[in-house]
């Protein structure tokens, strides 16, 4: 969950006429939603909305929701319940729900929540000012139709006033895959790629504003460009090449990829494009072929591991992470053991593991959810315990090494305790957080932020490294 109080998009001169208003947005879920929240702020800015982190001050409150896994809707509903009393004190307040739950529920949500004014899906962010104006006229508004592929236009992102060292750029929306457990194709619609020139322009603007690292975002980035018309359609690998060539961009990352799309071209980019960081999040979901078939993932465990081997040949130090689902309908004990065995063979640097939960409308939700909750819980615990041990070993392997750190800012530890005081934090190219101390005078100077530091790693913690300047 990310609140947007640090978003500075709304600073700058206010257009005359419109009264100043405040907007409070609470963001749930993935980086795509965080990015959508930035676009929400961007389209509201010319209408004189400023961000606030106090809902009581806001005349527009939006919950930008996620439905990829269980309980998202309940979480959102109870948050709405907490916010509802504000409507009694503030006649002007418009309360709205955005994101994947909005897309999925639409009108139903208005029926269920009598004090809700506005529900809109991710395709309708550009129209938000009009939707809010309609809601202010006491109309209850629901906009959840998908825009047709050809008619869809992306909102080109403008750098926020204080651009961060590491920024995100959306390169496509939606997903054309049919993974049987996944709601994303229903909430985000078909794939639409942002034209390559627009992507390059956005990255160039961010770099000009001070970003040194960019992560390009999409539900399935390797299928980038498949929907674009015209005789010169860039593939994802070609798009990465164009971004890599941008002057001043130090590091390039991407997320997320499906293991079967154009993967060979992508593997070839590692080690070839200087800015492309040695880190790959490659969701496998299960270590068993029958389960993968039921999940409609369209690869076998052996094919997946061949890709991992190819990546490691191409880029020996590459860090890998993955997503795992335990307790998929019909998953037996033996099939679950196959997932543990895969984790032990691949030795990922990190993983994200989830208990299966049926999502409305998906194919898997029609299967019997056979694995009892306590078994799912136990499987999840075993996956996490195994991975914890592997992650610890992989972190220990950094101790004694000198790593290149892109410095992002003061360490979160910086305010805690005397000893930890003047620490900066950044990441290695393999995406590990590194904290290191600097003298007080340098801590407050511009000397480090956005620069590359060489750090001798002295200690491995569970989620970060500690070192001193080399
Ligand atoms: N149940 C559990 N996990 C899920 N994910 C997606 N849908 C479900 C579901 N129904 C997980 C997958 C995906 C990640 C973003 O969320 O592992 O890669
Ligand atoms: Fe969902 Fe990812 Fe499969 Fe697309 S590729 S359906 S987003 S799990």
At 11, is the pLDDT very low, low, confident or very high (cuts 50, 70, 90)? very low
Predicted confidence at residue 9, as pLDDT, reads 40
| Residue 181 CA to ligand 1 centre (angstroms) | 7
Task: Kindly tell me if the per-residue pLDDT of 12 is higher than 60.
Answer: no
Predicted confidence at residue 442, as pLDDT, reads 82
Predicted confidence at residue 235, as pLDDT, reads 93
Same fold, 9-145 and 285-397: no
Beta bridge partners of 465: 434, 460
| Residue 220 CA to ligand 2 centre (angstroms) | 7
| Nearest residue (CA) to ligand 1, atom 18 | 323
At 420, is the pLDDT very low, low, confident or very high (cuts 50, 70, 90)? low
Distance CA 72, CA 61 (A): 18
Predicted confidence at residue 19, as pLDDT, reads 79
Predicted confidence at residue 13, as pLDDT, reads 44
Probe residue for ligand 2, chosen from 173, 180, 182 as the CB with the greatest number of ligand atoms within 8 Å: 182
Task: Kindly tell me if the per-residue pLDDT of 385 is higher than 80.
Answer: yes
Closest ligand to C-alpha of residue 221 is: 2
Predicted confidence at residue 431, as pLDDT, reads 98
In order, the DSSP letters of 27-67 are E-SSHHHHHHHHHHHHHHGGGTEEE-S-GGG-SEEEEEE--
Count Cβ atoms below 10 Å from residue 121 Cβ, excluding itself: 25
Q: Does domain 9-145 have CATH number 3.40.50.2300?
A: yes
Predicted confidence at residue 413, as pLDDT, reads 65
430 phi/psi in degrees, rounded to 5: -85, 10
What kind and span of H or E run contains 85? helix 85-89
403 phi/psi in degrees, rounded to 5: -120, 155
Closest ligand to C-alpha of residue 359 is: 1
Probe residue for ligand 2, chosen from 66, 177, 256, 364 as the CB with the greatest number of ligand atoms within 8 Å: 177
Predicted confidence at residue 231, as pLDDT, reads 62
Rounded to the nearest integer, the mean pLDDT of the chain is 91
Show the ligand 2 pocket: residues with CB < 6 angstroms: 175, 177, 179, 182, 184-185, 219-220, 258
| Nearest residue (CA) to ligand 1, atom 6 | 182
| Nearest residue (CA) to ligand 2, atom 1 | 182
| Residue 182 CA to ligand 2 centre (angstroms) | 6
At 42, is the pLDDT very low, low, confident or very high (cuts 50, 70, 90)? very high
Q: What b/e sequence results for 340-372 when a residue is b if at least 16 CB atoms lie within 10 Å of its CB, and e otherwise?
A: bebbeebebbbbebbbbbbbeebebeeeebebe
| Residue 315 CA to ligand 2 centre (angstroms) | 26
Predicted confidence at residue 6, as pLDDT, reads 35
At 414, is the pLDDT very low, low, confident or very high (cuts 50, 70, 90)? low
Distance CA 436, CA 434 (A): 7
| Residue 99 CA to ligand 1 centre (angstroms) | 17
Task: Kindly tell me if the per-residue pLDDT of 216 is higher than 60.
Answer: yes
Nearest atom in ligand 2 to 175's CA: 4
Nearest atom in ligand 1 to 352's CA: 17
Probe residue for ligand 1, chosen from 104, 175, 181 as the CB with the greatest number of ligand atoms within 8 Å: 181
8 token code pair: 């500075």
| Nearest residue (CA) to ligand 1, atom 13 | 323
Task: Kindly tell me if the per-residue pLDDT of 2 is higher than 60.
Answer: no
Q: Between 35 and 158, whose confidence is greater?
A: 35
Closest ligand to C-alpha of residue 327 is: 1
Q: What is the CATH number of domain 285-397?
A: 3.30.750.200
| Residue 354 CA to ligand 1 centre (angstroms) | 7
Predicted confidence at residue 75, as pLDDT, reads 86
Name which of 2-16, 119-133, 247-261, 290-304 the model is least confident about: 2-16
Which of these, 315, 321, 317, lies nearest to 348 by C-alpha position?
321
| Residue 176 CA to ligand 2 centre (angstroms) | 8
Nearest atom in ligand 1 to 358's CA: 10
Q: pLDDT tens, 63-91?
A: 999 999 877 778 888 999 999 999 998 98
Predicted confidence at residue 415, as pLDDT, reads 52
Report yes or no: 63 and 33 within 8 Å, Cβ to Cβ: no
Q: Which long-range contacts (CB under 8 A, 24 or more apart) does 107-111 make?
A: 107/142, 107/144, 109/142, 110/140, 110/142
Show the ligand 1 pocket: residues with CB < 6 angstroms: 68-69, 181-182, 283, 285, 323, 325, 354, 356-357, 359
Distance CA 308, CA 41 (A): 39
247 token code pair: 């002057």
Domain ranges of the chain: 9-145, 149-277, 285-397, 402-469
| Residue 323 CA to ligand 1 centre (angstroms) | 8
At 35, is the pLDDT very low, low, confident or very high (cuts 50, 70, 90)? very high
What kind and span of H or E run contains 459? strand 452-460
At 158, is the pLDDT very low, low, confident or very high (cuts 50, 70, 90)? confident
Q: pLDDT tens, 345-358?
A: 999 999 999 999 99
Domain 149-277 CATH class label: alpha beta
What does the pLDDT average to over 427-446? Answer: 90
Report in angstroms the alpha-carbon separations of 351 from 79, 168, 265: 29, 21, 24
What does the pLDDT average to over 239-261? Answer: 96
What kind and span of H or E run contains 389? helix 373-396
What does the pLDDT average to over 435-439? Answer: 92
């Amino acid at each position: 969950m990310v609140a947007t109080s640090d978003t500075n998009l709304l600073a700058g001169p206010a257009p005359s006429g419109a009264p100043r208003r405040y907007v409070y947005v609470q963001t749930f879920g993935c980086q795509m939603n965080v990015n959508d929240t930035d676009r929400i702020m961007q389209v509201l800015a010319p209408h004189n909305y400023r961000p606030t982190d106090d809902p009581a001050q806001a005349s527009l409150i939006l919950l930008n929701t996620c439905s990829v896994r269980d309980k998202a809707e309940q979480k959102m509903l109870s948050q709405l319940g907490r916010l509802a009393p504000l409507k009694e004190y503030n006649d002007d307040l418009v309360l709205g729900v955005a994101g994947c739950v909005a897309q999925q529920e639409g009108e139903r949500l208005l029926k269920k929540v009598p004090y809700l004014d506005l529900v809109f899906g991710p395709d309708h962010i550009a129209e938000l000012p009009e939707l809010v104006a309609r809601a202010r006229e006491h109309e209850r508004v629901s906009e959840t139709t998908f825009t047709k592929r050809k008619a869809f236009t992306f909102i080109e992102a403008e750098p926020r006033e204080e651009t961060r060292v590491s920024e995100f750029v959306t390169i496509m929306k939606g997903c054309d895959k049919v993974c049987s457990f996944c709601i994303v194709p229903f909430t985000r619609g078909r794939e639409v790629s942002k034209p390559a020139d627009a992507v390059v322009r956005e990255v160039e603007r961010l770099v000009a504003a001070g970003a040194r690292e960019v992560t390009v975002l999409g539900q399935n980035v390797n299928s980038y460009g498949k929907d674009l018309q015209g005789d010169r359609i860039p593939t994802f690998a070609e798009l990465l090449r164009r971004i890599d060539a941008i002057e001043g961009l130090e590091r390039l990352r991407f997320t997320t990829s499906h293991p079967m799309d154009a993967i060979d071209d992508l593997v070839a980019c590692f080690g070839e494009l200087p800015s492309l960081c040695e880190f790959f999040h490659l969701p496998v979901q299960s270590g068993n072929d029958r389960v993968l078939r039921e999940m409609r993932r369209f690869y076998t465990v052996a094919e997946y591991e061949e890709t991992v081997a190819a990546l490691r040949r191409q880029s020996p130090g590459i860090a890998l992470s993955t997503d795992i689902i335990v307790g998929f309908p019909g998953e037996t004990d033996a099939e679950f053991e196959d997932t543990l065995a895969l984790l032990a063979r691949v030795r990922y640097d990190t993983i994200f593991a989830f208990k299966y939960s049926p999502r409305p409308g998906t194919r898997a939700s029609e299967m019997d959810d056979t694995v009892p909750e306590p078994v799912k819980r136990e499987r999840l615990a075993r996956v996490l315990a195994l991975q914890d041990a592997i992650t610890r070993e992989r972190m220990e392997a950094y101790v004694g090494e000198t790593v290149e750190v892109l410095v992002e800012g003061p360490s979160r530890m910086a305010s805690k305790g005397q000893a930890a005081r003047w620490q900066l934090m950044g990441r290695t190219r393999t995406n590990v957080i590194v904290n290191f101390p600097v003298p007080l005078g340098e801590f407050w100077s511009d000397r480090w932020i956005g620069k590359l530091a060489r750090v001798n790693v002295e200690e491995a913690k569970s989620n970060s490294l500690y070192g001193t300047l080399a």
